[in-house]
Structure 1
Amino acid sequence: MSESVLRIALVGNPNCGKTALFNQLTGGRQKVANYAGVTVERKEGRFVAPSGRSFQLLDLPGAYSFAATSPDEAITRDVCLGRYPGEAAPDLIVCVADATNLRLHLRFVLEVRQLGRPVVLALNMMDAAKRRGIVIDVDELQRRLGVPVVQTVAVQRGGAKALIERVDGDVPEAAPSDPAPLTPAQMHAQVRELLTATVTMPRETAAVDDALDRWALHPVMGMVILAGLMFFIFQAVFSWAKPVMDGIQAGITWLGAWSTGFLPAGSALHSLLNDGVFAGLGAVLVFLPQILILFFFILVLEESGYLPRAAFLLDRTMFKAGLTGRAFIPLLSSFACAIPGIMATRSINDPRDRLTTIMVAPLMTCSARLPVYTLLIAAFIPPRIVGGVFNLQGIVLFVLYFAGIFSALAVAWVIKRMRRDKSEHALIMELPSYRVPHARDIALGLWERSKIFLRRVGGIILALTVLLWFLASFPGPPANATLPAIDYSLAGRIGHLLHYIFAPIGFNWQICVALVPGLAAREVAVASLGTVYAMSGGEDAVVSQLGTLISQQWSLATALSLLAWYVFAPQCMSTLAVIRRETNSWRNVAIAAGYLFGLAYLASFATYQIASALS
């Protein structure tokens, strides 16, 4: 054991408040990465006790049992046992349990105790338990389990005080374990004995949960509520973000003019900064407010306990399409980014359902598509109010998101019809109690996602923007040139060559150029368009004028075709790489890329031809 830093692992069932407790202890002193060799997220943090003692905290993936049925549970089991390669066993295991649902959580507590390692049991959500009239004899529970038991309220300031005081003392002795592993029947019997001896519950479920679930889980009203929530979110993405976007846009335009004002016009450095960096990155940064609004609502729905209910509600519909309700949360996560959405499929036990969910996750409208959608919608769809309430642009965005959802269900239905094994599996899912999302956890989640987005902007997007500027600048035009310089560059030549392929779907050569770096990250396409048009003789302030430029130079049919393309096209190499890692199959990568590109081309072709005929 380390002499200076005690290594603590937090374990527990999903929805026990474990991550909220981790945030309470570590605050901003945390980092998110993946376990070596697998795309399973790991969160590490540090905190210092009042005594000055330092602790390293590891938030392990949620698990229901050490009899692992998913990669998440396997990681938690192996780390706790000290079996994970390059990962020493933790000095102390803190098992977090929901005090309002000990009937479910105590079973895993018994498994953790069976490891025979130092264990502390943290009874979390004690405030909710008291409000429901649940009385827990903590001393008796501690005596019967043979491990220290503390009470915590992870969402309250100071709610982890008892846990900090306990871990700041002497490390507990190894937990007592039974001579032979307990059978499931024996564990259930022990849980019943513990509950009878230590817990008094007026009712098994909270009255407020039952009242809300009568509406949220109603087969008709529940679907209406869910559809209303989704529609409201997409309205908010457009309406709430515009003032902030305008401010960012003005700031980037001013910064670009100030930064390049000292440089001689026409110089390579002036062109790099003005046409490359500011025209490219600026065109992406302005969409950060919309992305954060989308993330905000996803985090709120997750923290409130609503998402598992939405999964349960949609199970019947998704079952008909060849998915299960468990696929809902990974697919919803894919609205933010397909990569964590694909990684979240590890909670799906059936390998067939998991593979199907992985294959359709890229069809969800991820936040990287949002810059393209909002650019084109703002340029071609008037900001008209429909019905006195609804923003027409928000309605179009909702339709695009729904198109992705409908396409995913259609593809899943086809996969279901093609697979040989037709057997099905029932959905068994815990519905956690409703709770008010805590502002600190929401803020930390938004901060993490902001850093990820800004790292992409400052890393891959910046690199690709500079590369595109180089390709668009060299070689220079000949002495008798009559066209803009970019037409004679490498990028111009590539764009004109690709134009032969994409002309039937209405794409001009500038769009073709933007599609190439967009293969690395979808949002790069907007930055690329900014760079291409800045170097094609467009306005100097491309960040603020790009929408105006394309609205003047593109037809409505071309804009609609490009929107249709982005509903389907897998323009993200990282997503394909994660499919390879999660399925361990290049064949699945080829199938995913092939069918997505095929659907994208067919959808764009049909959209362009129909729109052209009607215009």
Structure 2
Amino acid sequence: MSEAALPMRLALVGSPNCGKTALFNQLTGGRQKVANYAGVTVERKEGRFSTPSGRNYLLLDLPGAYSLDAASPDEIITRKVCLGEFPGESVPDLIVCVADATNLRLHLRFVLEVRKLGRPMVLALNMSDAARRRGIRIDVDKLQARLGIPVVETVAVRHGGAAELTRCLEGEVRAVAVAEDSTDLHVQVRELIAEAVSMPRRTAEIDDAIDRIVLHPALGLVLLAAIMFLIFQAVFSWAEPLMEAIEIGIAHLGTWVGSALTSMPMLQSLVVDGIFAGIGSVLVFLPQILILFLFILALEESGYLPRAAFLLDRLMLGAGLTGRSFIPLLSSFACAIPGIMATRSIQDPRDRLTTILIAPLMTCSARLPVYALLIAAFIPQRTVAGVFNLQGVVLFSLYVAGIVSALAVAWVIKLLRKDKSEHALLMELPSYRVPHVRDIAIGLWERANIFLKRVGGIILSLTIILWFLSTFPAPPAGATEPAINYSFAGQLGHLLHLVFAPLGFNWQICIALVPGLAAREVAVSSLATVYALSGHEEGLQAIVASQWTLAMALSLLAWYVFAPMCLSTLATVRRETNSWRQVWIMAAYLFALAYVASLLTYQIARVVGS
């Protein structure tokens, strides 16, 4: 292939949350390849696209960076690739620097750093539509003249939103000549904004007025606690009608399908006692998970989450962390895996490792089905102080227990560290904005899609496997106990019961803990399958309420506050730390915490209840 026919290499750079990856997806579509850079765990994403004239491009989506003065693993990769210093990576022919048009005060500093490299460069002002809606006016011609590089506007989330960028790439983009300038970066940004950007005064005044409350050392913390409390109240109160509808629908469908399979008892057992009992018991919690993410997405879209990180910085410093750990830990409420991966933005390697080690203590959405099942079975649905839902109060308490435990573990790690240095959090806060219904709807659809794929994939597979292990071998002639007692699963459950009996766990719970290592919510479907095969025809919640003691339920709740994470999380920790030692440390300390907490909870509850 001649040199002229080779695709032009573009590097896409930008600070986190500028929409860089959305622009990458807009340009490349499905022609993408994802891997890790050689020798490190940072993700490498590469794609191809063509312009209308037929020119071909190879696009590399570099990790987000706040500065080329590299401190975090992500920023080191971005700097080295841009300079052509990373082994195995060719120097890019052109750098496309993406900046959030609604927050140029923050993003222009990084643009000026990239410009100093002297490489051919284009600036893409992303989210330009959002900037216009908020009254921000950007004089693109003045900005282009002042920077000496092409400047285009993009809307990465809209079809055709990168058209102006592709038109720019059709022309010739030369290397920028950068004169030596001793002026502070911050000063240059202020001059650029004063000359080329018109900011609505009213927007700044409103932001300042809200921040006087939101960032107040006392009122801000009270507001944050109130918001979190409201979220968990809504998880139970709003979701109940939808959960009942799903439960009734699944029950009717299971009965109808089961009646059609009466001539095939083994298949009927698999479908009714295995698939419908197991999958249905998990699927019913989808409304609660979506309500939780409705609030998280709305807070993220509004610009509140960075302020919460700033507000909690002092508290987290006491535990040996900074507010930078807040976003990864908050992400872990969805799942520990993206939370652990988000720690790449933490500059200090010790802070990053501590955040990785405590991320699984955040109450991920996979725990929610277990919590909701036990709370609904043992906590009466009544109001407290005439306002609050008691079940929501208990759920809120479980989330708080996870957070407090994470901070306590981080504090212990801080005591064990030889380096006692603390790093202040410096961050620029975005303007407040009203969340867009479309963006939140897309986020909820993605979350529902992920949950349903788990239900139809790993949970369905494990449910079928558990049904097989709970059905075979068949009981011997003259057996008097339920058939499941003689099965592989029954034998395993009775063996594990020797270890977990002090915690109050029965052998059915012991069986459910094993597939729960693959995904925590599988514990609920496993319990439903085991009880269905034991001859119980009631729903799982009714079985738990009638056959378990309150001490057993509280013990299992305590177990899942600290429970060792799923296997995929352990694999992520191995990849991110490049160390099996950290994996074993994490698994060991979480198992020890879970066992001790569950043991104390059960024994104390027995004494108090007797």
In the superposition, the TM-score normalised over structure 2's length comes to 0.89
- Within-5 A mapping of 1:7-86: 10-18=12-20, 25=26, 35=36, 60-77=62-79
Q: Output the CA distance in 1 between the equivalents of 2:264 and 2:490.
A: 19
Q: Output the CA distance in 2 between the equivalents of 1:556 and 1:189.
A: 63
Q: 2:600 matched to 1:606?
A: yes
- 1:580 is matched with 574
Alpha-carbon spacing, 1:169–1:64, altered in 2? closer, same or farther (3 Å): closer
Please tell me whether the aligned partners of residues 120 and 176 of structure 2 are also in contact (alpha carbons under 8 angstroms): no
- Within-5 A mapping of 1:264-275: 264=262, 267-275=265-273
After TM superposition, give the deviation of residue 3 of structure 1 in Å. 7.9
Once the two structures are overlaid, the 10-residue window that deviates more, 5-14 or 452-461, is 5-14
- Within-5 A mapping of 1:1-400: 10-18=12-20, 25=26, 35=36, 60-77=62-79, 93-114=95-116, 119-126=121-128, 136-152=138-154, 161=161, 163-168=162-167, 170-178=169-177, 191=189, 194-195=192-193, 197-199=195-197, 206-264=204-262, 267-400=265-398
Please tell me whether the aligned partners of residues 53 and 170 of structure 2 are also in contact (alpha carbons under 8 angstroms): no
Please tell me whether the aligned partners of residues 62 and 72 of structure 1 are also in contact (alpha carbons under 8 angstroms): yes
Please tell me whether the aligned partners of residues 13 and 97 of structure 1 are also in contact (alpha carbons under 8 angstroms): yes
After TM superposition, give the deviation of residue 110 of structure 1 in Å. 3.0
Alpha-carbon spacing, 1:362–1:132, altered in 2? closer, same or farther (3 Å): closer
Q: Work out which of the residue numbers 576, 585, 595 in structure 2 matches 1:591.
A: 585
Percent sequence identity over aligned pairs: 70
After TM superposition, give the deviation of residue 364 of structure 1 in Å. 0.7
Deviations along 1:327-348, one digit per CA (max 9) or x if unpaired, are 1111111111111111111111
SS at 2:514 equivalent: helix
After TM superposition, give the deviation of residue 172 of structure 1 in Å. 3.8
AA in 1 matched with 2:100: D
Alpha-carbon spacing, 1:126–1:454, altered in 2? closer, same or farther (3 Å): closer
Alpha-carbon spacing, 1:129–1:274, altered in 2? closer, same or farther (3 Å): closer
After TM superposition, give the deviation of residue 120 of structure 1 in Å. 2.9
After TM superposition, give the deviation of residue 453 of structure 1 in Å. 2.0
- 2:508 is matched with 510
Q: Output the CA distance in 1 between the equivalents of 2:242 and 2:84.
A: 48
Q: Output the CA distance in 2 between the equivalents of 1:276 and 1:184.
A: 71
Once the two structures are overlaid, the 10-residue window that deviates more, 203-212 or 374-383, is 203-212
Q: Output the CA distance in 2 between the equivalents of 1:317 and 1:145.
A: 41
AA in 1 matched with 2:405: S
Please tell me whether the aligned partners of residues 521 and 572 of structure 1 are also in contact (alpha carbons under 8 angstroms): yes
SS at 2:170 equivalent: coil
Count of aligned residue pairs for this structure pair: 606
After TM superposition, give the deviation of residue 312 of structure 1 in Å. 0.7
Deviations along 1:142-181, one digit per CA (max 9) or x if unpaired, are 12333222235668x68x75x413414652423423479x
After TM superposition, give the deviation of residue 391 of structure 1 in Å. 0.9
After TM superposition, give the deviation of residue 580 of structure 1 in Å. 1.5
- 1:493 is matched with 491
Once the two structures are overlaid, the 10-residue window that deviates more, 87-96 or 2-11, is 2-11
Q: 2:457 matched to 1:459?
A: yes
AA in 2 matched with 1:257: T
AA in 1 matched with 2:598: S
Once the two structures are overlaid, the 10-residue window that deviates more, 141-150 or 27-36, is 27-36
- Within-5 A mapping of 1:542-581: 545-581=539-575
Alpha-carbon spacing, 1:177–1:48, altered in 2? closer, same or farther (3 Å): closer
Please tell me whether the aligned partners of residues 476 and 488 of structure 1 are also in contact (alpha carbons under 8 angstroms): yes
Deviations along 1:31-75, one digit per CA (max 9) or x if unpaired, are 996646766567889999999999997765432123332233345
Please tell me whether the aligned partners of residues 29 and 46 of structure 1 are also in contact (alpha carbons under 8 angstroms): no
Deviations along 1:476-519, one digit per CA (max 9) or x if unpaired, are 10011000100001110111111111111100000000001111
Once the two structures are overlaid, the 10-residue window that deviates more, 92-101 or 55-64, is 55-64
SS at 1:335 equivalent: coil
Q: Output the CA distance in 2 between the equivalents of 1:392 and 1:119.
A: 58
Q: Output the CA distance in 1 between the equivalents of 2:207 and 2:593.
A: 43
Alpha-carbon spacing, 1:10–1:537, altered in 2? closer, same or farther (3 Å): same
AA in 2 matched with 1:560: L
Deviations along 1:77-104, one digit per CA (max 9) or x if unpaired, are 4665677788887776542223454343
AA in 2 matched with 1:601: Y
AA in 1 matched with 2:512: A
SS at 1:378 equivalent: helix
After TM superposition, give the deviation of residue 463 of structure 1 in Å. 1.8
Q: Output the CA distance in 2 between the equivalents of 1:534 and 1:20.
A: 46
Deviations along 1:418-438, one digit per CA (max 9) or x if unpaired, are 111111111112211112222
Q: Output the CA distance in 2 between the equivalents of 1:80 and 1:435.
A: 33
Q: Output the CA distance in 1 between the equivalents of 2:122 and 2:60.
A: 15
User: Which runs of no fewer than 5 residues in structure 1 stay unpaired?
Assistant: none
AA in 2 matched with 1:487: N
Q: Output the CA distance in 2 between the equivalents of 1:606 and 1:510.
A: 21
After TM superposition, give the deviation of residue 387 of structure 1 in Å. 2.0
Q: Output the CA distance in 2 between the equivalents of 1:30 and 1:433.
A: 35
SS at 1:150 equivalent: strand
SS at 1:368 equivalent: helix
Q: Output the CA distance in 2 between the equivalents of 1:446 and 1:19.
A: 19
Please tell me whether the aligned partners of residues 53 and 168 of structure 1 are also in contact (alpha carbons under 8 angstroms): no
Q: Output the CA distance in 1 between the equivalents of 2:248 and 2:34.
A: 35
AA in 2 matched with 1:531: T
Please tell me whether the aligned partners of residues 68 and 76 of structure 2 are also in contact (alpha carbons under 8 angstroms): yes
Q: Work out which of the residue numbers 405, 409, 432 in structure 2 matches 1:434.
A: 432
Deviations along 1:200-225, one digit per CA (max 9) or x if unpaired, are 66879811111110010001110011
Alpha-carbon spacing, 1:117–1:446, altered in 2? closer, same or farther (3 Å): farther
Deviations along 1:263-283, one digit per CA (max 9) or x if unpaired, are 236632222212222211221
- 1:537 is matched with 535
- Within-5 A mapping of 1:402-413: 402-413=400-411
Once the two structures are overlaid, the 10-residue window that deviates more, 489-498 or 104-113, is 104-113
In the superposition, the TM-score normalised over structure 1's length comes to 0.88
AA in 2 matched with 1:405: I
Q: Output the CA distance in 2 between the equivalents of 1:474 and 1:467.
A: 11
Please tell me whether the aligned partners of residues 132 and 206 of structure 1 are also in contact (alpha carbons under 8 angstroms): no
After TM superposition, give the deviation of residue 610 of structure 1 in Å. 1.2
